[in-house]
A = this chain, B = another copy of it.
Amino acid sequence: MLNDPMVLTPIADAPQAEPEKRIRDRGATEKAILAAAKVLLAEEGFQNFGINAVARKAGCDKQLIYRYYGGLNGLVDAIGADLGTWVKDRIPEDTGGMFLLTYGDLMERLSLLFLQALRDDPLMRRIVAWEVSENTEQVRRLSEARSKALATWLERMRGSLAPPKGVDPVAVNAILIAAIQHIVLSASAGGQCAGLALKTPKDWEKAEAALKRIVRGIYG
């Protein structure tokens, strides 16, 4: 009587009333694990991201993560593969009632869209933060998937507009993207960035206005 079922009283945060007889369904379990991993990473960050934590969150045994994903690396790969769907969700059908006639129009709009998308996506934020904090195998894989998704997104949005002569669009855009990413990360972590408060919508309007000015300053 070592494992008397009565002893397994429901824990506080476990699904209570439901004994939740786990049905034998590998596909569903795999999905549950992947979903749990994404939620965990988004909510807790990469600090507490591990086999045990994911298994706890998914409500299954960690052994299944090894079996189905070959460990944490495989699971991270799966998250990365899942990131491809990010693009589809972020392409608005219209251009916000704006005619994108110039490269400056385009970049202004893209900047604000990217800013908003990052602000709305905790998982993506955590991944970006992870990227600049470590250089492990896991991060590299995830990072590659993310940059590919980002590139695809930019590609689709750009259309056929060409950047003005005399500027290095790759370098300039890299700096713009860097700025947006860091602003959002700083805001998310501490509510401010380099003395600029980033909490209220009002604060964000200021940041967006400054971002627009910067984009217009360089692309006209």
Which residues in A have some Cβ–Cβ distance to B below 8 Å?
A: 45-47, 129-135, 139-140, 143, 147, 150-151, 167-168, 170-179, 181-183, 185-186, 188-190, 193-196, 206-207, 209-211, 213-214, 217-218
Chain B residue numbers with a CB within 8 Å of A194 are 147, 150, 173-174, 177-178
Given the complex of chains A and B, what is the CA–CA distance between A131 and B129 in angstroms? 10
Which residues of B are found within 8 Å of A196, using beta-carbon distances? Answer: 170-171, 174
Task: Let me know if A189 and B47 touch, CB within 8 A.
Answer: no
The 10 closest A-B pairs by CB, nearest first: A217-B217, A179-B179, A171-B210, A174-B196, A182-B182, A178-B182, A132-B185, A217-B218, A174-B194, A177-B194
Complex contacts, A214 vs chain B, CB 8 Å = 172, 175, 214, 217-218
Nearest CB on B from A138, distance (A): 12
Question: Would you mind naming 12 contact pairs between A and B with Cβ atoms under 8 Å apart?
Answer: A130-B133, A131-B189, A133-B133, A135-B190, A167-B213, A168-B210, A174-B210, A175-B210, A177-B193, A178-B194, A213-B218, A217-B217
Q: How far is the CB of A220 from chain B (nearest CB, A)?
A: 9
Residues in B neighbouring A217, C-beta threshold 8 A: 214, 217-218
B190 and A131: CB pair below 8 A?
Answer: yes
Could you say which residues of chain B place their CB within 8 Å of the CB of A140? 190
- In the complex, which residues of chain B have a beta carbon less than 8 angstroms from the beta carbon of A210? 167-168, 171-172, 174-175
- Cβ of A132 and Cβ of B45 under 8 Å apart? no
Whether A132 pairs with B134 at a CB distance below 8 angstroms is no
Does the CB pair B207–A193 fall under 8 Å? no
